[in-house]
Amino acid sequence: MDEVIDAAAADAKALAAGGCDGILFENFGDRPFHKHVGPETVAAMARVIAGVGPTLPFGVNVLRNDARAAIAIAAATGAQFIRINVHAGVMSTDQGMIEGEAADTLRFRASVAPAVLIFADYLVKHASPVGEHSARDLRERALADALIVSGAETGEPADVQRLARTRAAVDAPILIGSGLTAGNAPDYAAADGAIVGTSVKRDGRVEMPVDTARVERVVRAFKQRGHPGPGTRDDA
């Protein structure tokens, strides 16, 4: 656990130094994932967050889809938001069929952490939809506070057209959930934010530590995306 905490603390420091506005903690190293985690994962994630002591606003994502655990951790650690991969509808995944549990999630949030925001994936990566999925329903019926649009898998850029359609359908913040780089940041002017992993890691490899210089390039490019200038088309 000490090694995990030290690595997470180093990544958090690099993200802050590179200009990020927030941090998302998730159990990405737990592959292959359970749909819902055991108490050991909840305890471990809470300990890691407490050990890091993040100085930026932060969120929690408990993979593969444990919204209840994420809310509990958020309540215990002071997180501002959680990410839920499947908040509504049904997705076919490598963990089997995952059904959204919006009704239970919203009621549990109300009881333990009512101020925590729900960032919900719309057609999450590493999954295929079963039946029709509506961005408007995710916002208006499942009551997600923000929507996330991703590519098909980790590190793959989000579909610009899907972003545009989602932007037109909902009045809510929309984030890019995968594949953002300094080079493609200008393509996502319609996004309000982004969750970035692979492209800010050393050598662009998701399993490596966060590289402050790469963070700076991605943050600068994303924040300047409406005003492109020299140096913004960088594939790092």
Domain ranges of the chain: 2-223
Residue 210's Cβ-count burial label (10 Å; 0-12, 13-18, 19+) is: buried
Residues in the chain: 236
**Distance (Å, rounded) from C-alpha 178 to C-alpha 46?**
25
**Distance (Å, rounded) from C-alpha 83 to C-alpha 25?**
10
Describe the strand order of the beta sheet including 96-99 as a list of residue ranges. Answer: 96-99, 90-93, 127-130
Mean pLDDT of each 10-residue bin along the chain, 236 residues long: 97 98 96 97 98 98 98 98 98 97 98 98 97 97 98 95 96 97 96 97 96 98 69 40
The hierarchical CATH code for the domain 2-223 is 3.20.20.70
Q: What integer pLDDT is reported at residue 95 of this predicted model?
A: 96
Q: What integer pLDDT is reported at residue 226 of this predicted model?
A: 64
Describe the strand order of the beta sheet including 23-26 as a list of residue ranges. Answer: 23-26, 58-61, 81-84, 117-121, 146-149, 174-176, 193-194
Q: Note the pTM of the prediction, 2 decimals.
A: 0.93
CB 132 within 8 A of CB 141: no
